[in-house]
Amino acid sequence: MNVFWAKFVDRYVGSALCLVLAPFRKRKTSFLRNVLFVQLWGLGETVCTLPAIKAFKSKYPKTEVAILATDRNAAVYMGKGYIDELIVLKPGMLQLLKFSLKNRNHFDLAIDLEEYLNLSAIVSFFVARNSIGYDSQLRSSLYTTAVPYNDHVHVAEAFMNLLRPLKINSKVTSLEPLAISKDSKLEAKKLLKYCGVSGNDFLVCIGIGTAESSKCRKWPVQNFAQIADYLIKDFKAKVVFVGSKGEIDEIDDTIKLMEHKALNLGGKTSTKGLFALLSRCKLFIGNDSGPMHVAAAQGVPTIGLFGPNLPQRFGPVGPKNKGIYKGEICKYSPCINVHKGEVPDCCYGSGTQDYQKCMKNIRFEDVKKAIREVMEK
């Protein structure tokens, strides 16, 4: 199911189900033998859930922690010692409802990490005796405890806020490193060797893409080409572009604009292979996207570029990382409000002169300055 139809079904069918189920909301119980965390979607947001899940396990070490994910984001949860069970489904309403009915009241508690999906609330309603989720939209009527969403803090902190009713008051200062298997390390090693990159090289990874929704988050490719040339010339860097299979041609177009040679690794890694590849980098630069959060989690100095969204909410976490935002010039920014289900393309429209106005406002000099600041740290 593509993104459009998934959101369509969630908004209309999911909302109707929430209305039907709300009168049957369950009462709270005090048992906490097992808990299910529900996170079904974005790679970057999934990375930001790990500090909260680890904090829960630290507070309740005897409680079995299960994760419900999809094949889009499950790799993030693999190999984490504080996760006892990983349940992976294919995205889709039927699969989720089938799982819900099969596992009715199996868990003592479900914690819905999704900011706005109705289907995740419905799953939580069926599979657990208690549920915690955000106090927004119709779905909040299904939770036994609804927590206000604070859109003035980073999303990793917003996830942590869901644990406040459980007397967990941890703060997020860094992300959790993602587990890298031997096979993933070997995948990255072979790929870099094929590209002529050695362990002593100053390896820089650049992510020019975004997820399927809100393509207006992209910085213009000619700017990425300019910054890649600068890194190669002034830092003697080896520059590789990473992305999905659908971004291969766009990366090729970027490299054609460059004076120096760079490598296109779009679509050439598995998800876990991407984790291993990014952990080898000395610097990551990219749009507001999943690879940016992966790089930050792996301890790589990271620069994220923002316009439709705010770095205060979704920037790369960590003291040596930086989010660049020049969206003040745009009357719509931030137009992305994930907690409200608002992830539009540019409000000016793709055919207008002001399309991507907030991203175009980020200049080469802004990123050049950020590179100097990050590398000095």
Token pair listed for 158 = 């917003």
* pLDDT, position 273: 96
Nearest CA-CA partner of 112 in 131, 97, 135: 131
* pLDDT, position 215: 87
Token pair listed for 312 = 């205060």
Cα–Cα distance between 268 and 23 in angstroms, integer?
49
* pLDDT, position 351: 85
Amino acid code (one letter) for 363:
R
Domain range 182-376, its CATH number among 3.40.50.2000, 3.40.50.720, 3.90.1150.10, 3.30.70.270? 3.40.50.2000
Give strand pairing partners of 66.
Answer: 36, 85
| Per-residue confidence in pLDDT tens, the chain, 377 aa | 555 556 666 665 666 666 666 666 665 656 799 999 999 989 999 999 999 999 999 999 999 999 999 999 999 999 999 999 999 998 888 899 899 999 999 999 999 999 999 999 999 999 999 999 999 888 999 999 999 999 999 999 999 999 999 999 999 999 999 999 999 999 999 999 988 999 899 999 999 999 877 889 999 999 999 999 999 999 999 999 999 999 999 999 999 999 999 999 999 999 999 999 999 999 999 999 999 999 999 999 999 999 999 999 999 999 989 999 999 999 999 999 998 888 899 999 988 999 999 999 999 999 999 999 998 87
Domains 3-166 and 182-376 share a fold: yes
Residue ranges of domains in the chain: 3-166, 182-376
CATH 3.40.50.2000 fits 3-166, yes or no: yes
- 214 and 249 in contact (C-beta within 8 Å)? no
Cα–Cα distance between 220 and 230 in angstroms, integer?
16
Give strand pairing partners of 172.
Answer: none
Token pair listed for 155 = 């999303």
Cα–Cα distance between 303 and 323 in angstroms, integer?
6
Amino acid code (one letter) for 25:
R
* pLDDT, position 3: 57
Taking the model in full, what pTM does it have? 0.92
Residue environment code for 179-201, b if the CB has 16+ CB neighbours within 10 A, otherwise e: ebeeebbebbeebbeebebeeee
Q: Which residues contact 113 (CB under 8 A, 6 or more apart)?
A: 37, 38, 39, 45, 49, 52, 120, 159, 162
Q: Which residues contact 9 (CB under 8 A, 6 or more apart)?
A: 1, 93, 119
